[in-house]
Amino acid sequence: MLSRMLVGLLIAGSGCGGGPVPVLAPERVFLSEIEHLVRASVAVRGTRPSLDELSQVEADPDALPALVDVWLQSPEFGETIRDLHAEMLLVRADTLPQFPALGALAGLSLAEVHASVSEEPLRLAEDIVLSDRPYTEILTADWMWADRTLAKIYGLPFDPDGPVLQLSWWTDGRPAAGLLSSSELFHRHASNGNNFHRGRANLIASTFLCDDISQRPIEIVDPPVVTEVDEVTEAIATNPACGGCHQALEPIASFLWGYKPVLPNKVMNSFLLGDCEEVEFNLELLPAGAGFAEDVCYPLRLYSPAEERVWEELGLPHPALYGSPGERVSDLGALIIDDPRFAACSARRFYAYLTQVDPEGVDPGLASALGQDLVDSGYSVRSLVRQVVLSDTFRTARGDGSDPDAGLLTVRPEQYARTIEALTRFRWIVEDTVGCGTKCWGAVDLARSDVFGFRALSGGSDGIRRTSPTHTATPTKLLAMTRFAAEAADFAVLDGVLLDGTITDRTAVRVQIGALRRRVLQASDDPDAPQVDALLALFDDAVARRGDPAAGWKLVLTALLTDPEMIHP
């Protein structure tokens, strides 16, 4: 369907003048069923297919759609949804200061704190998509998922004897608005103080409606000399150059005044170290609405219904979304959903993530059509994802030039980590516990961290400086992948996972290499295939140099885990 649409768009854009111009376009070639199985599995789950799934498609080339339906209900798909929303909301920024592991959080590692708070909005999105609820609920939901740490940070309802993750809700009087009720979203994007929530407003418009208001042209003529808030407010309202952005931004920002300012970590630290017994602020230095113990001591209160109408006191515009008025942040969620751009923007983001293209570069006609499909499906993201991964664009091996979105993908760092773990049970964990006092990170996943790890170096987003991923091979990605693969191979051989590292018999070596190729790359397990010869040469070379068959198997497995077909499914 996607390819047909692109052809239509190309025809529509080709003009009517003159006769047909013969063009010798290369022929589009599609992936084999097995290759399509692999690409779809990595995109949907972040892991490669199991041997059983491989056998199913070998037996029935039409088995993939049914497998995709199963995958779309798996926890691994939930992880993919979290990854996608992390990239969208930029909340997995571990190089930023974390909430202090003091007071009620004493004894916790910063990794635990970071994981709890950063995954909070992502778990809501995961829940809505995995349970196939309408995607509109990401802006209306009146629940969220909390773990013990998050419950302590925000004082959320939580049964200490219950499961690790529990359904919970905000108790500070904030309206129910799904992600717009997320503390972490507004903790990470701390656009307050003199910015008056404008940065947050732009984040909301650009994320959910694909309207980056701050890209609008600015040309200020005879700028007013403004210092006080009311002067700024008047300038924004009356100066046409300011109005281009601000007349759209300000009314959205006015929905957000219930969110209290987030104070710097060093302030929290100093109060928490003093057990929060005497909290005295220099109010002159604080943003409006700040200056209470609950701003700096757990449980934090990030929302105050009493502050919702501060915009009124400041003479700012009434809350509205592009002219449609509302009152509270729940109204903002409803208005966004009603905006036709929401469906198209959501579809654009899912399509872009799965096909690894820039969301801004997705053809508007395609985004609009996919958005309509999303609406028609009752906002089923599972249906949308199924549609994309089974499309001709997605299963293209070689493009014909008509579809720039088609062709090889590049494994993301999160996908690679899940793939390695699924194959070898190895997780790339480092322990940061010695000599760091209350600033210990504890167990850090090197594949998913930028404090200690290699996520951005492997093409991922760090959520702060690298805000979009790199979808191709780079020297640092290859260096990091090779190191990761080598450690996984070391682990797998030592622990006897996936292979027997003592095998030296020539025939048995060939058979095991064949089996590894099938398991790791979903390739033929023919022990006499030429590809086996190449890996056998690697094995022999390593054994000859190191005098140890285990070294040979580690090198073979490292080669398979860094194979071009692993890097580019």
Partner 1 sequence: MSWTRRAVLGSSLAGLLAGVSARGASVGKRRLILVYADGGWDTSYVFDPKPGGATVEGPEVDQDIDNPDDVEALRSFGNLTVQVNPARRPAATQYFERWARRTAVVNGLFVGAIGHPQARARVLTGVVGTGQLGPDLAHIAGAAHAEGLPIGCVDLSGFSSSGSLAPTAIQLGARGQLGALLDDGVQIRPRPDGSPPMLWLPDDDDLAALSAHRLARTEALRVRRGTGHDRSGQRLDDLVVATERSDALRARGEAFTELVVPGIEPSMSNQVDMALALLAGDVCQSVFMDTGLNWDTHVDTASQHTYFETLFKELDRMVGDLQSLSMLDDTLVVVISEMTRTPTRNSKGGKDHWPHTSAMLIGGGTAGGQVLGHTDAWLQALPVDLDSGLPDAGGDKLTYASFAAGVLERLDVDPGDWLAGVRPWRAGCS
Listed as own residue / partner, the contacts of 457-463 with beta carbons closer than 8 Å and 24 or more positions apart are: 458/413, 458/416, 459/410, 459/412, 459/413, 460/412, 460/413, 460/414, 461/86, 461/87, 461/90, 461/92, 462/93, 462/94, 462/95, 463/86, 463/90, 463/91, 463/92, 463/93, 463/94, 463/188
CB of 322 to partner 1, least distance (A): 19
CA 60-61-65 angle, to 5 degrees, is 100
Residue identified by tokens 């105050």 is 304
Our CB check for partner 1 shows the closer of 52 and 228 to be 228
User: Is residue 367 within 8 Å of residue 355, measured between CB atoms?
Assistant: no
Beta bridge partner(s), residue 59: none
Q: Site residues for partner 1, window 483-502 (CB under 8 A)? A: 483, 486-487, 489-490, 494
Sign of the alpha-carbon torsion through 31, 74, 208, 190: negative
Least separation in angstroms between residue 166's CB and partner 1 is 30
- Considering the complex, state which of residue 275 and residue 400 has its C-beta at the smaller distance from partner 1: 400
Per CB under 8 A, the segment of 55-63, 104-112, 153-161, 465-473 that binds partner 1 is 465-473
Nearest CB to partner 1, comparing residues 100 and 469 = 469
Among 4, 425, 506, 545, binds partner 1 (CB under 8 A): 545
AA letter at 457: L
Q: Is the peptide bond before 305 cis (omega within 30 degrees of 0)?
A: no
Question: In this complex, which beta carbon is closest to partner 1, that of residue 190 or of residue 276?
Answer: 190
Residue from the set 50, 56, 214, 524 that interacts with partner 1 by CB under 8 A: 214
Which CB sits closer to partner 1, 309 or 471?
471
Q: What is the largest CA-CA distance in the chain?
A: 84
Residue 399 binding partner 1, by CB under 8 A: yes
Gap between the Cα atoms of 404 and 364, Å rounded: 14
**Binding partner 1 by CB under 8 A: which of 60, 312, 338, 358?**
358
The answer to whether 401 contacts partner 1 (rule: CB under 8 A) is yes
Question: Of the two residues 170 and 454, which places its CB atom closer to partner 1 in the complex?
Answer: 454
**Taking CB under 8 A as the criterion, which residues in 92-131 touch partner 1?**
95
| Residue 51 to residue 114: CA distance in whole angstroms | 36
Q: Given the complex with partner 1, which of 375 and 551 has the nearer CB atom? A: 551
Least distance from partner 1 to the Cβ atom of residue 72, Å: 25
Of the candidate spans 73-81, 103-111, 208-216, 326-334, the one that interacts with partner 1 by CB under 8 A turns out to be 208-216
Number of residues that bind partner 1 (CB under 8 A): 96
567 part of the interface to partner 1, by CB under 8 A: yes
CA distance 23 to 21: 6
Residue 312 CB partners (closer than 8 Å, separation 6+): 318
Provide φ and ψ at 259, rounded to 5°.
Answer: -75, 125
Which listed residue (39, 152, 174, 554) binds partner 1 by CB under 8 A? 554
In angstroms, what is the minimal distance from the CB of 262 to partner 1? 14
Q: Applying CB under 8 A, does 313 fall inside the site for partner 1?
A: no
330 token code pair: 């729940």
SS (H, E, C) 420-487: HHHHHCCCCEEEECCCCHHHCCEEEECCCCCCCCCCHHHCCCCCCCCCCCCCCCCHHHHHHHHHHHHH
Task: Determine if 480 is a binding residue for partner 1 (CB under 8 A).
Answer: yes
**For residue 6, which phi and psi values (nearest 5 degrees)?**
-65, -40
- One of 14, 73, 171, 215 touching partner 1 (CB under 8 A): 215
Residue of 4, 398, 425, 506 that binds partner 1 (CB under 8 A)? 398
Cβ neighbors of 288 (< 8 A, separation 6 or more) are 261, 310
What are the φ and ψ backbone dihedral angles of 320, each rounded to 5 degrees?
Answer: -165, 155
Contact call for residue 364 and partner 1 (CB under 8 A): no
Residue type, 357: V
Member of 65, 361, 378, 496 binding partner 1 (CB under 8 A): 361
Whole-angstrom distance, CA of residue 433 vs CA of residue 435: 7
Distance CA 303, CA 321 (A): 21
Amino acid (one-letter) located at 415: Q
Q: Which of 107, 227, 306, 323 binds partner 1 (CB under 8 A)?
A: 227
Q: At closest approach, how far in Å is the CB of 563 from partner 1? A: 6
In the bound state with partner 1, the residue whose beta carbon lies nearer, of 66 and 478, is 478
List the interface residues with partner 1, window 238-267 (CB under 8 A): 245
Instruction: Please pick, from the candidates 7, 66, 508, 534, the single residue that binds partner 1 as defined by CB under 8 A.
Output: 534
By CB under 8 A, is residue 518 in contact with partner 1? no
Residue 331 C-alpha from the chain's centroid: 26
Q: Does 234 bind partner 1 (CB under 8 A)?
A: no
Task: Select the residue interacting with partner 1 from 11, 23, 225, 306 (CB under 8 A).
Answer: 225
Contact code string over 59-88 relative to partner 1, x by CB under 8 A: ------------------------------
Closest separation between CB of residue 175 and partner 1, Å? 27
193/299 with CB nearer partner 1: 193
Q: 20 or 530, CB closer to partner 1? A: 530
Phi then psi for residue 482, to 5 deg, are -65, -40
Residue of the chain from 472, 496, 500, 506 that contacts partner 1 (CB under 8 A): 472
- Which of 319, 566, 545 is CA-nearest to residue 423? 566
Which of positions 404-463 make contact with partner 1 (CB under 8 A)?
404-408, 410, 428-431, 446, 450-454, 456-457, 462
- Which one, 4 or 545, has the nearer CB to partner 1? 545
132 or 526, CB closer to partner 1?
526
Q: Which tokens belong to 303?
A: 């929302």
Q: Which stretch binds partner 1 (CB under 8 A): 110-118, 120-128, 160-168, 358-366?
A: 358-366
Nearer to partner 1, 93 or 369 (CB): 93
**Is residue 211 part of the contact set for partner 1 (CB under 8 A)?**
no
259 has which bridge partners? Answer: 303
Among the listed residues 17, 107, 163, 217, the single contact to partner 1 using CB under 8 A:
217
d(CA 559, CA 489): 9
Give the contacts of 466 (CB within 8 A, at least 6 positions apart): 456, 460
